Amino acid sequence: MKTLAPKKTAVKTYAMLVDGKLVQAEGGALRDITDPASGELLARVPESGRADAKKAVAAARRAFDSGPWRKTTAQDRGRLLFKVAEGIRARAKSLAELEVRNMGKPLAEAEYDAADAAACFEFYGGLATKVHGETMSVPANSMSFVLREPVGVCGQIIPWNYPLLMAAWKLAPALAAGCTVVLKPSELTPLTALELCPILLEAGFPDGVVNVVTGPGAGVGEELAESPLVDKVAFTGGTVTGRRIAQAATGNLKKVTLELGGKNPNIVFADADFEAAVDGALFAAFANQGEVCSAGSRLLVEKKVHKELVAAMLKKAPRIKLGHGLTPGVKMGPLVSSAHRDKVEGYIKVGKEEGAKLVLGGGRPKGAEFDKGWFVEPTIFDHVKPSMRVAREEIFGPVLSVIPFADEAEAVRLANDTEYGLAAGVWTTNVTKGVRVLRELRAGITWLNTYHPTFNEMPWGGYKQSGYGRELGLYGIQAYLETKQVNINLDEAPLGWY
């Protein structure tokens, strides 16, 4: 079948967006960005450091404190966000293809991400005018009310697995609230975030309101977390890095939102719709190559259907076609980098050593089309004990651990037996039982008889070490707002206290 993958594209050198201008890093350092499926050089991007981050923060500070942004009405902020949505939609095809080439995901997933990113900007464009305060009942001759005001300058650090969508999740609510931002995309997958820069300029944001700076976390990310000029930092990524950011942010007690890792349970009861549960278990584990913080990487299966369900997954999993994400029919692409593949393969080795039963995959796919990419086969371990590392640590790859359980009480206990609390799924035709179990699960995002769908209108975030704060929905914009109490004395007479 015809594939777009071998097509050679010109190597583009990108620029960052700082203070309304497209610029290179101080000193001119560049990083090569390659296609994880083929090794092809895609682009070169600025490799910036603290000095560049400081310039961007200073620009955002000026734009917030003394620029025209503070006087921009909510209606005008909303219109700007609508223009960004229009710009993304106009470039949706090229953005999706670039996302595939940079990150490795299948084209269908990248196309969905591009559409969802545009919808996110539209949602917050409409919400910009819906930020309300409140008035309170007060004593006679006075009036009190509450204002909601922007937090200020926001440092935003996004991960490599959903580059365009995570940029939208961060930028849209902050800009709708009236904040200024410095966005740092992952150094591994910065291209679609950088493609947003001309879209943002075309929309007409004042200089310094939106800044996009590329570079490693050591330097750029650290500066955003530590800078006394930054009022809030929002981070999506690993739990270890999240802890460091939270600690660094204490320097000026900046506000922090953290969306971190997960080791998410996906519970299948014996009375579940069997075929739906099989599909759901595979999709939960292997969508986006398992490189998803909310992946259903722990499959808890009631013992009555355990053998049957595993057998059905083993029969269906070979239909998951691996390859370059631009090849028609491909459902799983490569992992993002050589280093990340090494990590995932290390966990597969650990699972074998710990005694988990490898029933599917565990290696690299064979064939010339895979030789230059970072591919790992869909991998399933059965009879996994809850104490094993493959059942407790976030692998962030296509590795599924199957754990049998006896009854509802044990399912809940096993599901909650984790330091994380991001997501969870339940499969049962007994809706009463399903809702009862969902209420017992310590997780911020839950699904009944489905897995993975997200909505811009609903909150996203986790319990425990999966972070704190919420993104998306009304909660997403509230994270970028301060609350101010205003009291007005309507009595012109002296107070008379002394």
Q: Strands across the sheet with 481-489, in order?
A: 134-136, 142-150, 481-489
- Of the residues 99, 259, 291, 302, only one is catalytic, namely 259
Using CA atoms, how far apart are residues 116 and 490, in angstroms rounded to an integer?
A: 49
Number of H helices, E strands in the chain: 15, 23
Using CA atoms, how far apart are residues 373 and 102, in angstroms rounded to an integer?
A: 12
Secondary structure (3-state) at 45: strand
Backbone phi, psi, residue 95, to 5°:
-65, -45
Nearest C-alpha neighbor of 341 from the set 124, 112, 104: 104
Range list of β-strands (E), 48-204? 134-136, 142-150, 153-157, 180-184
Using CA atoms, how far apart are residues 382 and 310, in angstroms rounded to an integer?
A: 8
Using CA atoms, how far apart are residues 5 and 425, in angstroms rounded to an integer?
A: 35
The DSSP annotation for 195-206 comes to: HHHHHHHHHTPP
The DSSP annotation for 117-138 comes to: HHHHHHHHHHHGGG---EEE--
Q: Strands across the sheet with 12-13, in order?
A: 12-13, 41-46, 30-34
Amino acid (1-letter code) at residue 184 = K
- Biggest CA pair distance of the chain: 89
Q: Are 61 and 126 in contact (CB under 8 A)?
A: no
Using CA atoms, how far apart are residues 457 and 37, in angstroms rounded to an integer?
A: 34
Number of Cβ atoms within 10 Å of the Cβ of 315: 10
* Residue 52 exposure: Cα atoms within 13 Å on the Cβ side: 30
Pull the structure tokens for residue 178: 């009236």
Residue 393 is among the residues annotated as catalytic for this protein: no
Range list of β-strands (E), 24-141? 30-34, 41-46, 134-136
Nearest C-alpha neighbor of 325 from the set 397, 379, 377, 375: 375
Nearest C-alpha neighbor of 266 from the set 455, 449, 453, 409: 449
How many residues are given for the chain?
498
- Of the residues 293, 302, 345, 471, only one is catalytic, namely 293
Annotated catalytic residues are: 259, 293
